[in-house]
Chain A
C-alpha cells in the first residue's frame, strides 16, 4: 500500500488549488439543478475545459483538453474541487454517458460532430431506453425502426426519459431487426429532438417537478449514418453507456459533497439549547454514514488502482451503484430527521431550509435507487456476475402466475 501520489502530483495539486482560489467566484451555485445549464454554468464549463479541469483526457480535436490519461490527476482534480466545495465540470447524460460511449464506439465523424458541443453545454442529450414494457427487461423494447429510402423510420414510445423536454438530441434504442433474437435486433440511433414526428409529454414525479417525460415517435425519419455501432449491435453499445451511467450515479465525490453539506447542516441547525449535532443519537448516525462514505471513497480508490494496473474492477466495482444510491438516500433521510418538524417543509414554505433541497433529494435519490437498473437488478448482477451464483430458473410462465394470483385470497384491510 502506497498512498502517496508522488512529488510531481503535489505540484499538480498546488496548481489545481491555485486555480480554484483564483476563479471560484466565477463558479455557478452548486444548487443549480437545471437540465439545461445556465449561461454561468456554461461559461464555467468552458473555463474548466480550457484549463484541463474537466474533459481533461478528451482529445483537443473533439473539444477536450487533450492531456494524456492520468487517473491520479483526474482524482486530484475531483478531490480538490470537492474539498473547496466548488462545482467541477458539468455532469449530465450527454457528458457523462454519451460522450464516453462515442469515444469508445463512435465513428470519427460522429466524434467530431457531437463531442465538442456536448462538452461545452451547447447540446443537451436525453437517453431513450426505457419503454412502458421494457424497464428492468430493457431488451424487451418495442420501438421500431424500419428502413425506407435509406432512412430509419422510427415508431413507438419511450418513458421515464429524463430531460427530454430540454434536450436537443436523443440517443435512442430501437428494434431494427424484428425477427432477430431479443438482444440481437436492437440498434442505437442518435437524432435531433426537433425531428418531425416526436412528441414529448412531461411527466410530473413525486418531487412535484417534471424530471422526466414520455416521448412518442410517429414516422420519425433518421438518416442511416446516425447510428452508433452497427445495425443490430445496439445492445452492446447500450451496455457501454449503462456502465458509464452506473459510474455517474455511484460517484463517490457526489456522496462526499452531500455528506459535507449534511455535516454543515447538523452543526448549524439548532435543536433546543444546542445544535442537532449535539444530539448523541443523530451524531451517531452521522458518524456511521461518514464511515460508509469513507468506505465508498476508498473503494473508489481501489477500483482506480485496479484499473491503473489494467485489472478489472471486480466486486468493488459491481457494488458501486447499489451502495452509493442507497447511501445518498440515507444521507438525505438523516438530514430530514435532524431538522425534526422543519424537515417536512417544502414547496417554498417559510422556514424551509436550502430551498427544500433535502426533501427533493430524499425523493430523487429514491428515484435513482430505481433508475439506471433497480436495486434488485443490481443485486442480481452482484450475485450472478460477482459471486457467480446460479441464475434464476425460468419459473412460472405468466399464465401460471396470473392464475395463482387470481386464486389468492385478497389481503385487504386488516381484520379485527
Chain B
C-alpha cells in the first residue's frame, strides 16, 4: 500500500505552484478582479503551456490522458493562488463528458481543441441537483427550452454542455440562436458563472445513458470544488500562522496567546484529514467507480464545512486586518464560499449521499 502522491504527481504539483507563483501574484488577482471581466489571459496562457487544458483529454485526441487526482492537484494549486482562470468546467467536466458520452464526431471535433486551449466549453448541471427559481431545461426534437442556472466557466465559453430535466446532456453553441446567456456575479470574482435561457435553441445530444454521465460530472465537479477549497484553506491557514508570528499586542506576539494558537491548531487539525479524503475520492473516481459518487459527496460536504470554519477563523486571527482588503485575505474566503455552495451545499450533498446508500429515497 502506498497512500500518497506519486513522484510525477509531486512534480506536477510543484510545477503548477511555481508557475502560479510567477504569473499570478495577489497583485495580479487584484487587478483582474477589479475589471469587468476578471479572467486572466496571462495566467490562462501559462496554464495552457503546462498542458493543463489537455490533462483529462485522452491521448488519442491530443491530450495527456491523466486522472482526476492529477486534476485535483492542479485545482488545489489554482485555489492556493486564487487564480482567475477557467478550470472546473472547461478543463475537467467537459472533457470527461465528451470522453464518456460524446459521439466519435463530437470527440474528434472538440477534444483536440480543448486540449490545445483553442476552445472552452462551460457546463450547466445544477438543476440535476437542486431546482431554484423554477429553473430547468426540457429537450424535444433537438431543441432546448427553459433555463439553466449556474453555467460554470461561463465567460468566453464557445459552447455549453447542459443537462436537461431528465439528466440527458446536450451540447449547444454559445452563439446558438434561441440562447440568451446572462452573466451572474458572485462573491468570488475569480470564477465566472452565468445563466442560460433557451427558447428553442438547437443542440446536439450526448449519448443518452440514463443519467450515468451526469452523475459522473456531479462527482468530478464536487471533487474538484473540494480540492479547490483545500488549496484556499491551506493558504488561509498559512497566512494566519504567519500573521500570528509577526503581530504584537500586549508586548507579545499574538501567536503566543493560547487562544490564537488553538485557533490555528484547530484549523490545521480539521483541515489535514480533508486532504486525505480528497485524494482518496479523486483516486476512486478513476479506480473504484462504484464508490466515486459517495466519496465525492463526502469530500464536498466535509470540506465545505471545514473550510467555512477555516475561512472565518483565519480572518479572526488577523483581527481588523483580516476584514479589510489590504492583505486580500477575502479572496480565499470568497473562493471557499463559492466552493461550498456550488453543485450543492453540504446539506444537499449529504442528502444525496444518504440516497446513494439507499437509506432514503432519492430527492
- Chain A interface residues (CB < 8 Å from chain B): 130, 133, 135-137, 140, 159-160, 203-206, 212, 270-273, 279, 281-282, 329, 333, 336-337, 339-351, 359, 363, 366-367, 369-371, 374-376, 379-380, 392, 394-398, 401-402, 405, 411-414, 416
Contact mask B215-233 → A, CB, 8 Å, 1/0? 0000000000000000000
- Chain B interface residues (CB < 8 Å from chain A): 4-5, 9-10, 13, 17, 80, 126, 130-134, 149-150, 182, 184-189, 195, 234, 238, 241, 245, 248-253, 255-257, 259-260, 263, 268, 272, 275, 308, 312, 315-316, 319-320, 322-326, 329-330, 333-334, 337-338, 341-348, 350-351, 363
**Cα–Cα distance between A329 and B333 once the two chains are bound (Å):** 15
Contact of B252 among A329, A343, A401 (CB under 8 A): A401
**Cα–Cα distance between A347 and B248 once the two chains are bound (Å):** 35
Decide if A380 touches B315 in the complex (CB within 8 Å): no
Q: How near does chain B come to A75, taking the closest CB pair, in angstroms?
A: 32
A346-B320 in contact given A340-B348, A366-B315, A414-B234 (Cβ < 8 Å): no
Decide if B185 touches A395 in the complex (CB within 8 Å): no
Decide if A370 touches B259 in the complex (CB within 8 Å): no
**Cα–Cα distance between A385 and B256 once the two chains are bound (Å):** 22
**Cα–Cα distance between A100 and B308 once the two chains are bound (Å):** 38
Decide if A340 touches B252 in the complex (CB within 8 Å): no
Contact residues in B for A281 (Cβ distance below 8 Å):
347, 350-351
Question: In chain B, what residue has the closest Cβ to A336?
Answer: B341
**Cα–Cα distance between A203 and B248 once the two chains are bound (Å):** 22
Known: A206-B315, A344-B338. 19 other contacts (CB 8 A): A206-B325, A206-B330, A271-B131, A337-B341, A339-B132, A340-B341, A341-B341, A342-B133, A346-B185, A347-B187, A363-B333, A369-B316, A371-B323, A396-B253, A402-B245, A405-B245, A411-B241, A414-B234, A416-B4
Contact residues in B for A337 (Cβ distance below 8 Å):
341, 345-347
Decide if A412 touches B347 in the complex (CB within 8 Å): no
Decide if B130 touches A344 in the complex (CB within 8 Å): no
**Cα–Cα distance between A413 and B325 once the two chains are bound (Å):** 24
Contact residues in B for A140 (Cβ distance below 8 Å):
249-250
9 contacts between A and B (CB under 8 A): A206-B329, A270-B134, A273-B131, A337-B347, A344-B187, A347-B187, A363-B330, A376-B257, A411-B241
A341-B342 in contact given A136-B250, A281-B347, A346-B187 (Cβ < 8 Å): yes
Question: In chain B, what residue has the closest Cβ to A279?
Answer: B347
Q: How near does chain B come to A76, taking the closest CB pair, in angstroms?
A: 36
Question: In chain B, what residue has the closest Cβ to A349?
Answer: B185
Decide if A398 touches B252 in the complex (CB within 8 Å): yes
Contact residues in A for B5 (Cβ distance below 8 Å):
416
Decide if B182 touches A350 in the complex (CB within 8 Å): yes
**Cα–Cα distance between A136 and B254 once the two chains are bound (Å):** 10
Contact residues in B for A370 (Cβ distance below 8 Å):
315-316, 319-320, 322-323
**Cα–Cα distance between A5 and B75 once the two chains are bound (Å):** 61
Best-buried of B9, B132, B187, B252 by chain A (most CB within 10 Å): B187
**Cα–Cα distance between A160 and B31 once the two chains are bound (Å):** 24
Contact residues in B for A279 (Cβ distance below 8 Å):
347
Q: How near does chain A come to B312, taking the closest CB pair, in angstroms?
A: 6
Contact residues in B for A401 (Cβ distance below 8 Å):
252-253, 255-256
Decide if B319 touches A136 in the complex (CB within 8 Å): yes
**Cα–Cα distance between A144 and B241 once the two chains are bound (Å):** 32
Q: How near does chain B come to A125, taking the closest CB pair, in angstroms?
A: 19
Q: How near does chain A come to B80, taking the closest CB pair, in angstroms?
A: 8
**Cα–Cα distance between A412 and B319 once the two chains are bound (Å):** 22
A137-B250 in contact given A341-B149, A349-B184 (Cβ < 8 Å): yes
A359-B187 in contact given A340-B345, A402-B253 (Cβ < 8 Å): yes
Contact residues in A for B350 (Cβ distance below 8 Å):
281
Best-buried of B245, B319, B338 by chain A (most CB within 10 Å): B319
Decide if B324 touches A203 in the complex (CB within 8 Å): yes
Q: How near does chain B come to A380, taking the closest CB pair, in angstroms?
A: 7
Q: How near does chain A come to B226, taking the closest CB pair, in angstroms?
A: 14
**Cα–Cα distance between A411 and B350 once the two chains are bound (Å):** 32
Contact of B131 among A272, A366, A413 (CB under 8 A): A272
**Cα–Cα distance between A411 and B242 once the two chains are bound (Å):** 10
Contact of A350 among B131, B195, B263, B363 (CB under 8 A): B195
A341-B248 in contact given A160-B320, A350-B182, A376-B257 (Cβ < 8 Å): no
**Cα–Cα distance between A135 and B363 once the two chains are bound (Å):** 50
Best-buried of B17, B250, B341 by chain A (most CB within 10 Å): B341
Q: How near does chain B come to A348, taking the closest CB pair, in angstroms?
A: 7
Question: Ordered nearest first, which 10 A-B pairs have the shortest CB separation?
Answer: A206-B330, A204-B325, A137-B249, A416-B5, A349-B185, A347-B185, A376-B259, A405-B245, A344-B186, A367-B323
Q: How near does chain B come to A392, taking the closest CB pair, in angstroms?
A: 8
Q: How near does chain B come to A79, taking the closest CB pair, in angstroms?
A: 32
Question: In chain A, what residue has the closest Cβ to B3?
Answer: A416
Question: In chain A, what residue has the closest Cβ to B126?
Answer: A341
Best-buried of B80, B188, B342, B345 by chain A (most CB within 10 Å): B345
Best-buried of A136, A341, A346, A396 by chain B (most CB within 10 Å): A341
Q: How near does chain B come to A187, taking the closest CB pair, in angstroms?
A: 22
Contact of B133 among A270, A396, A412, A416 (CB under 8 A): A270
Decide if A371 touches B320 in the complex (CB within 8 Å): yes
Decide if B238 touches A411 in the complex (CB within 8 Å): yes
Best-buried of A348, A351, A375 by chain B (most CB within 10 Å): A351
**Cα–Cα distance between A342 and B135 once the two chains are bound (Å):** 12
Decide if A135 touches B345 in the complex (CB within 8 Å): no
Contact residues in A for B253 (Cβ distance below 8 Å):
396, 398, 401-402, 405
Q: How near does chain A come to B216, taking the closest CB pair, in angstroms?
A: 20
Question: In chain A, what residue has the closest Cβ to B343?
Answer: A341
**Cα–Cα distance between A371 and B189 once the two chains are bound (Å):** 26
**Cα–Cα distance between A342 and B149 once the two chains are bound (Å):** 9
**Cα–Cα distance between A413 and B245 once the two chains are bound (Å):** 18
A366-B323 in contact given A340-B345, A344-B342 (Cβ < 8 Å): yes
**Cα–Cα distance between A365 and B87 once the two chains are bound (Å):** 32
Contact residues in A for B251 (Cβ distance below 8 Å):
137, 394, 397-398
**Cα–Cα distance between A240 and B291 once the two chains are bound (Å):** 60
Contact of A344 among B188, B238, B268 (CB under 8 A): B188
Contact of A206 among B272, B324, B346 (CB under 8 A): B324
Decide if A416 touches B259 in the complex (CB within 8 Å): no
Question: In chain B, what residue has the closest Cβ to A405?
Answer: B245
**Cα–Cα distance between A339 and B344 once the two chains are bound (Å):** 10
Decide if B234 touches A413 in the complex (CB within 8 Å): yes
Q: How near does chain B come to A323, taking the closest CB pair, in angstroms?
A: 16
